[in-house]
Chains A and B, each alone.
Chain A
Amino acid sequence: MKRRLLAWLNLAYHFWKHVLTRWWLRPFRRGRDLRRFRAQVEPEGYLPLPFADRAQFPDFMRCIHCGLCALACPALRAAPVTAWVEAWTFVAGPSRSLDRVALVARAAAPCARCAVCPAICPTGVPIDRLAVMIEGLAAGARAG
């Protein structure tokens, strides 16, 4: 009971502190909060996605991990010694993570002029669009 009361008091204190010291300052802070937010999350590997990118995710999430895109991929077959991220691992995997985005974007480079795997995907994942999005994320990560 006592702990609960303390918790409520603590919450009320911080709420009013926020209202009195921060909230009315917001118009003057112009993007500082966003910069602070990004500084917090980006080292962890999370990039804020623009709405248009986020709207594509249901299409990407149709992936059933069948691996047919990898089996059909000409770049993967031509890779004798270089590492190559299979398309489905970047469809399925955490391609939003900053630390992986650069790696994945390098791997997705051959996708620019290739439409082999989107045509073979049984669930119609637009893998080519995902490659474009990842390139964009990687460019954003470099710029930011």
Chain B
Amino acid sequence: MAGHLDVIVIGGGIAGVAAALESAAAGAVTAVVRAGPGATALASGAWHGPLPSLLGEALAAAGLPHLPVDTLLPHPFGDLRPADNAPATHAAARIDEAACVCGIAGLPHFPAAALARMWRAPRHVTLALPETPAAGWSPVALAAALERDPAGLIAALRQLGAGTRAILPAVLGLDPLARTAERVAAAAGVDVAEALGVPPSVPGWRLDRTLVRVLERSGVTLLEGRVVDRAVQDDVVLSVRVAVRGEPVLRELAAAAFVLATGRFVGGGIAAADGGEEVDVARGQALREASLVERALGCDVWIEHLGDRFREVQPVPLTDPVRAEPQALLRAGVHVDAAGRPRDVQDQVRYRNVTARGAVVAATSHGLGRAAAGAAGGAA
């Protein structure tokens, strides 16, 4: 990557891609540094929170249009869940008189009869595909197989009769550009919809792949690597050092502004400090006592725990044994001001040219839409 960069976005989940799109649309030369998939790739297909229009259009153009959801969506745990938006195949999964829950022989964790009872669907059937592996299907293997050749599934669905809406597990292809669900529906003569997914989540994978495409199409440079260090002068980040995948030496990337979108625990933005190993290089200070650290830029981590608001001198218990409310640990992250800039223990802005976004921000509530919304929206 040669030349000058205006903005470096650290993290390529939904929050990082949304930020990069906005930055590129505003004319800034933008790069995303991303270590790999994060929590975004585990999502079920239900989109909680608002869908920013720029992102919605970009997702649609890259092959994964999202639609507003006006019904409850069936989840393979047996419940029906609200969602604000969803990819078309999930948004269509309305449970009514036309719905027929379709299990697939050999695919575990999608028992059609039990799910139909719990979702209150009138019909269910378990479809047998021509070649079922002796040890059963992995959802990944099945999604790849159906993307290659859906003929067996089409033949089985034809038996259901016109006017049926087949509610299938989320295995209709790994790549949304293959349009597997559309092909199946057209050839089988029935409506086809997918239930939500659980990890290994095919819907989450589709979203993550599509986000990479969105970046490619929007002129944003994508660098696969992990920010491991940074150079700071006063309260400004000058550059970050990146361990690029497959390269033995670190690359140093400078920019005028940085977006911290590294996610929480799954993304790796917030992590437990490994005793004395974590050293805040910029401040030359060992983080031995800190119980949680923000890895990329060394921002202070806010832990809402029994009245504590920031990292403690003594290790604090990170979970509350009384589980009446969601664990405070799941709201840990960096604390931001109204402009989204991380604040430190003294409540001062830590870096003037950094904004944090998405799940790395403390107290953000769960959801793709809330992570994708701007800094202020994310800090709710």
A71-B202, A86-B140 known; A122 vs B133 contact (CB < 8 Å): no
Whether B141 and A122, one on each chain, are in contact in the complex, defined by CB atoms closer than 8 angstroms, is no
Whether A80 and B199, one on each chain, are in contact in the complex, defined by CB atoms closer than 8 angstroms, is no
Whether B268 and A122, one on each chain, are in contact in the complex, defined by CB atoms closer than 8 angstroms, is yes
Chain A nearest CB, measured from B138 CB (Å): 5
- Across the interface, name the chain B residue whose C-beta is closest to A77: B144
Which residues of chain B (218-239) have a CB below 8 Å from chain A? none
Whether A122 and B37, one on each chain, are in contact in the complex, defined by CB atoms closer than 8 angstroms, is yes
Whether A77 and B140, one on each chain, are in contact in the complex, defined by CB atoms closer than 8 angstroms, is yes
From the candidates B38, B42, B135, B145, name the one contacting A83 in the complex (CB within 8 A): B135
Report Cα–Cα, A83/B145, bound state, in Å: 12
Q: Is B378 an interface residue (CB 8 A)?
A: no
Q: Is B131 an interface residue (CB 8 A)?
A: yes
Q: Is A66 an interface residue (CB 8 A)?
A: yes
Q: Is A81 an interface residue (CB 8 A)?
A: yes
A86-B138, A119-B245 known; A68 vs B41 contact (CB < 8 Å): yes
A81-B131, A81-B133, A122-B268 known; A86 vs B200 contact (CB < 8 Å): yes
List A residues at the B interface (Cβ < 8 Å): 64-68, 70-71, 73, 76-86, 88, 119-120, 122
Number of interface residues of B (CB under 8 A): 27
Chain B residues within an 8 Å CB radius of A83: 133-136
Whether A80 and B131, one on each chain, are in contact in the complex, defined by CB atoms closer than 8 angstroms, is yes
Report Cα–Cα, A68/B41, bound state, in Å: 8
Whether B174 and A77, one on each chain, are in contact in the complex, defined by CB atoms closer than 8 angstroms, is yes
Report Cα–Cα, A126/B41, bound state, in Å: 20
Report Cα–Cα, A122/B39, bound state, in Å: 9
Give the residue among A65, A73, A86, A122 with the most B Cβ atoms within 10 A: A122
- Across the interface, name the chain A residue whose C-beta is closest to B268: A122
Chain B nearest CB, measured from A87 CB (Å): 10
22 of the cross-chain contacts (CB-CB < 8 Å) are A64-B266, A66-B41, A67-B199, A68-B37, A68-B200, A70-B138, A70-B200, A76-B138, A77-B174, A79-B141, A79-B144, A81-B131, A83-B133, A83-B134, A83-B135, A86-B140, A120-B36, A120-B37, A122-B37, A122-B38, A122-B267, A122-B268
Whether B201 and A67, one on each chain, are in contact in the complex, defined by CB atoms closer than 8 angstroms, is yes
Q: Is B81 an interface residue (CB 8 A)?
A: no
A64-B266, A68-B41, A84-B138 known; A79 vs B36 contact (CB < 8 Å): no
Which residues of chain B (28-72) have a CB below 8 Å from chain A? 36-38, 41-42
Q: Is B310 an interface residue (CB 8 A)?
A: no
Using A67-B201, A80-B145, A84-B133 as known contacts, list a sample of 4 further A-B pairs with CB atoms less than 8 Å apart, ordered by residue number in A.
A70-B140, A71-B205, A88-B200, A119-B245
- What 0/1 pattern do residues 163 to 181 of B give for CB contact below 8 A with A? 0000000000010000000
Chain B residues within an 8 Å CB radius of A70: 138, 140, 200
Whether A66 and B200, one on each chain, are in contact in the complex, defined by CB atoms closer than 8 angstroms, is yes
- Across the interface, name the chain A residue whose C-beta is closest to B138: A86
Whether A82 and B133, one on each chain, are in contact in the complex, defined by CB atoms closer than 8 angstroms, is yes
Report Cα–Cα, A110/B133, bound state, in Å: 18
Report Cα–Cα, A64/B42, bound state, in Å: 11
From the candidates A78, A81, A88, A119, name the one contacting B36 in the complex (CB within 8 A): A119
Q: Is B148 an interface residue (CB 8 A)?
A: yes
Chain A residues within an 8 Å CB radius of B201: 67, 71
Chain A nearest CB, measured from B245 CB (Å): 7
Report Cα–Cα, A66/B266, bound state, in Å: 9
Chain B nearest CB, measured from A112 CB (Å): 19
Chain B nearest CB, measured from A123 CB (Å): 8
Chain B nearest CB, measured from A125 CB (Å): 13
Chain B residues within an 8 Å CB radius of A122: 36-38, 266-268
Whether B133 and A79, one on each chain, are in contact in the complex, defined by CB atoms closer than 8 angstroms, is yes
- What 0/1 pattern do residues 88 to 105 of B give for CB contact below 8 A with A? 000000000000000000
- What 0/1 pattern do residues 255 to 271 of B give for CB contact below 8 A with A? 00000000000111000
Report Cα–Cα, A66/B268, bound state, in Å: 13
Chain A residues within an 8 Å CB radius of B205: 71
- Across the interface, name the chain A residue whose C-beta is closest to B145: A80
A67-B201, A84-B138, A119-B245 known; A76 vs B144 contact (CB < 8 Å): yes
Whether B136 and A71, one on each chain, are in contact in the complex, defined by CB atoms closer than 8 angstroms, is no
Chain A residues within an 8 Å CB radius of B41: 66, 68, 71
- Across the interface, name the chain B residue whose C-beta is closest to A65: B199
- Across the interface, name the chain B residue whose C-beta is closest to A119: B245
Whether A67 and B268, one on each chain, are in contact in the complex, defined by CB atoms closer than 8 angstroms, is no
Whether A76 and B141, one on each chain, are in contact in the complex, defined by CB atoms closer than 8 angstroms, is yes
Whether A84 and B141, one on each chain, are in contact in the complex, defined by CB atoms closer than 8 angstroms, is yes
Report Cα–Cα, A50/B51, bound state, in Å: 52
Chain B residues within an 8 Å CB radius of A64: 266
Chain A residues within an 8 Å CB radius of B138: 70, 76, 79, 84, 86
